[in-house]
Amino acid sequence: QSDVPRPRGVSLSKASLYSPTKDFTCFDGTITIPFSYVNDDYCDCFDGSDEPGTSACLNGVFHCTNAGHRPQNIPSSRVNDGVCDCCDGTDEYANPEICSNTCEELGKEARAEALRLAELYKAGGHLRLELIEKGNKKRNEMAEQLSQLENDKTEAEKIKAEKETLKNDLEAKENDALKVYREAEELEKQKKLEEEREKTVKEAMEHFERFDSNSDGELTVDEIKVANVFDKNKDGEVDEEEVQFFFEGHEKMDKENFVTTTWPLLKPLLMMEQGMFKPADDEEKDPDVDGEAEEHQADLDSEYEGNEEDAGDLELQEDNEEQESDSEHSSTYDEETQKLVDEATEARRQYTDAERTVREIESNIRNIKQNLEKDYGLQQEYATLDGQCFEYEDKEYVYKLCMFQKVTQKSKNGGAEIGLGNWGEWAGGDLNKYSAMRYTNGVACWNGPSRMTTVNINCGLETNILSVTEPFRCEYKIELSTPAACDESSPTQQHSSHDEL
């Protein structure tokens, strides 16, 4: 094949475009030049097509045949630059002695590698078939489960409706019976409030009179400036800001305004001085830290298992708390009322149970639907891997990949697990979508983006992690091998097994 006459650097398929008996027209059609200008080491064509065998055109392409191995196209700028780019050495024809022909050797290696891969894919292909069968089965089971759950849901909703009616009836009766008690309670509360208010006014007036040094019934700025209790920031003087704070912009305060405006602001300061009220700082610090930690933990949880089931649980908890506080003060009812209350309580409990059952079923349905919507590969070959976790240890960390769920990293020196991403999407590109997975939205990096992980998937007889690296800051890369990827018809497999000449 290589004995077809053609200019240097031209592939067999393009040989016919270079005819020595005719003028040469650039591929882009713009210029026609004598054939002697082809490969004369001067760039005439804008598209570089007149210099396939020299470095004259910046945008040119040099073709090397590489007999015994794969042919190759390299940029013209690599021709005669002193670096051997083609295994046949033809790109360095100006100094042929610097490159030896390594194509045979490389071709042999490549063929051996292709053979190894073919065998691997063959062996892996059997395992993959099993995975496909299991995957399909799993999906069928899930579909069955789903229809069962749909039935259960209808049933459970019916029960819920019944229980709701019952509960409403009994609650109406209970309500009537409790009305008397509630009114009495309300009166008692009003009375207490009134007493409280009187006490406040009295206390406020005592202080008002103390500060009102000229006893004219009005407090002025000058009057409070001498009272150091108004020195809120404790800098030794009562400044404009502090006056503004306590007087809310007024120049003076009568008794009424003092009670409603100034006193509530002043009282905590007085109490603090008397040692009755500790400043918030010390006390709050620790709980605050705990609070943050909990919040953080909650964040993590919802990040990894961010489905609505959790939210449901929380609601239930709240319900329970309400009930408890309700029953707390129900100590002194008469017997009949007590019976009505008990019945209503029981009806509420039953309703809550029925409601929970419906929610649980709905949650299961959602989960299954979500899983059914997941893309487990062309033939469900990845379905059984969902939820399976694989670990990898390096010097500093233990990495864990839970397929279709999340990726985490844990330092061997202790510390919390750090999320490197949650299942996002297949990311192998158009050519082979299922050759890579992307896990996104991990814990944010300091001063940077959220962590994310790309999992490159290759054919192997076992599913395990080969390596974990962090090529870009906060962007992790996992090399995973699995029989699920041993698809003999996949484009990458075709590429690597059919490229020898």
Please report, as ranges, the residues that interact with another protein according to CB under 8 A. Answer: 40-42, 55-56, 58, 75, 77-78, 81-83, 395, 445-449, 469-473, 475
Closer residue to another protein, CB minimum distance, 7 or 483: 7
Residue 474 beta carbon to another protein: minimum distance, rounded to whole angstroms? 9
* Closer by beta carbon to another protein, 81 or else 308: 81
CB of 34 to another protein, least distance (A): 11
Least distance to another protein, CB of residue 471, Å: 7
Q: Give min distance, CB of 9 to another protein, in A.
A: 15
Nearer to another protein, 77 or 190 (CB): 77
- Looking at the Cβ atoms of 77 and 175, the one nearer to another protein is 77
Quick one: how far is CA 353 from the chain centroid?
Answer: 33
CB of 411 to another protein, least distance (A): 16
Cβ 448 to another protein, closest distance in Å?
Answer: 6
How many residues belong to the chain? 501
- Here the tokens at position 87 are 């295994």
Nearer to another protein, 317 or 467 (CB): 467
Query: Exposure pattern of 276-300 as b/e (b: 16+ CB <10 Å)?
Result: eeeeeeeeeeeeeeeeeeeeeeeeb
Query: Could you tell me the CA-to-CA distances from 167 to 277, 313, 339, 360 in Å, in that order?
Result: 46, 22, 14, 21
Q: Which two tokens stand for residue 227?
A: 């009272």
Give which of 68, 63, 64 is closest to 48, Cα–Cα: 63
Residue 231, number of CB atoms within 10 A of its CB: 16
> Helix (H, G, I), strand (E, B), or coil: what is residue 235?
coil
- Name the minimum Å distance from CB 98 to another protein: 12
Q: Please give the backbone phi and psi of residue 224, each rounded to the nearest 5 degrees, phi first.
A: -80, -20
Judged by beta carbon, residue 81 or residue 113, the one nearer another protein is 81
End-to-end Cα separation, the chain, in angstroms:
11
Q: Quote the least distance from Cβ 394 to another protein, whole Å.
A: 10
Q: Smallest distance from the beta carbon of 435 to another protein, in angstroms?
A: 19
CB of 469 to another protein, least distance (A): 8
Which residue has tokens 């484009």? 491
| Buried/exposed 30-46: b ≥16 CB within 10 Å, e otherwise | ebebebebbbbeebbbe
The two most distant CA atoms of the chain are separated, in Å, by 122
Would you say 71 or 75 has its CB closer to another protein? Answer: 75
The residues near 439 (Cβ < 8 Å, ≥ 6 apart) are: 406, 407, 420, 421, 422, 423, 424, 452, 453, 454, 455
Q: Do 154 and 338 contact (CB within 8 A), yes or no?
A: no
Output 277 or 472, the one with its CB closest to another protein. Answer: 472
Looking at residue 363, its amino acid is S
Question: Which residue, 168 or 469, has its beta carbon nearer to another protein?
Answer: 469
Q: Which residue has the tokens 């129900």?
A: 330
- The Cα 256–Cα 36 span in angstroms is 109
C-beta closer to another protein: residue 83 or 193? 83
